[in-house]
A = this chain, B = another copy of it.
Amino acid sequence: MIDADALTPLFRRWDKRSALSDADRAAIAELPVTRRRFARNAYLVREGEPPRECGLLLRGMTCRQKVTARGARQILSFHIAGDFVDLQNCLLGEADHNVQAITDAEVAVIPTAAIADLTSRHPAVGRAMWLDTLIDASVLGEWVVNVGRRNARSRIAHLLCELSLRLQASGLTDGPSCELQLNQQDIADATGLTDVHTNRTLHSLRRDGLIDLSFRSLKVLDWQGLKDEGEFSQRYLHHAA
């Protein structure tokens, strides 16, 4: 059983695409869940594991990531409250990436069987979840472009635009000037940069008045400015934001 207001961000996002019936919503709320807390940096899922359950993020932030043979971490995507964590792994037979908590996080853990049951009895929910995986893939494509073809300033600007917009769409912040709970190492690992260079680039963005920056806190000040800097177009989010 999931709290009604814990589901608000999820429904708020989904309603932008197509509305669910009350029965669909109720079925989601009545999923058999176990609440679990994870500390900052804890692993929710490890690459290679067979996934037994899937999670709905209630509070905090998590990420999908991989670690290379040489020990470098690359973040593939961020989850915010209302996102399903690890749908991909759940649907394929074996986890091909790790899931890690970025902040202290609270997750409603759902057995895979319950998900299967839910989607078979409520096809609209299945479609919505499936659309989510397609959009995730689309976002991943944009990240390849970001990391492959943009310089440090643009990469970071682009990432901040994406997160800012997604937080807004889920109602987790009002207006584009949001505060993010990421440290500089996280930003570095999401953009394919080093922490040192990320630090210098963030300062350069602050000098230009695009962001506000203090210890473990980063605020988007000038969304339009960041958008220009990061060549940001929200088409790739497909109304997920």
Q: Which residues of A pack against B, CB within 8 Å?
A: 47-48, 64, 66, 68-70, 72-74, 76, 88, 91-94, 96-97, 130-131, 133-138, 140-145, 147-150, 191-192, 231, 235-236, 238
Contact = CB atoms under 8 A, between A and B. Distances in A.
A231 B143 contact: no
Contacts of A144: 74, 76, 140, 143-144, 147, 192
B141 A97 contact: yes
A96 B138 contact: yes
11 contacts: A64-B141, A68-B231, A74-B144, A92-B131, A92-B134, A92-B138, A94-B235, A96-B142, A136-B137, A140-B140, A140-B144
B148 A236 contact: no
Given A134-B88, A148-B192, A192-B147, A141 B96 contact: yes
A131 to B, nearest CB: 8
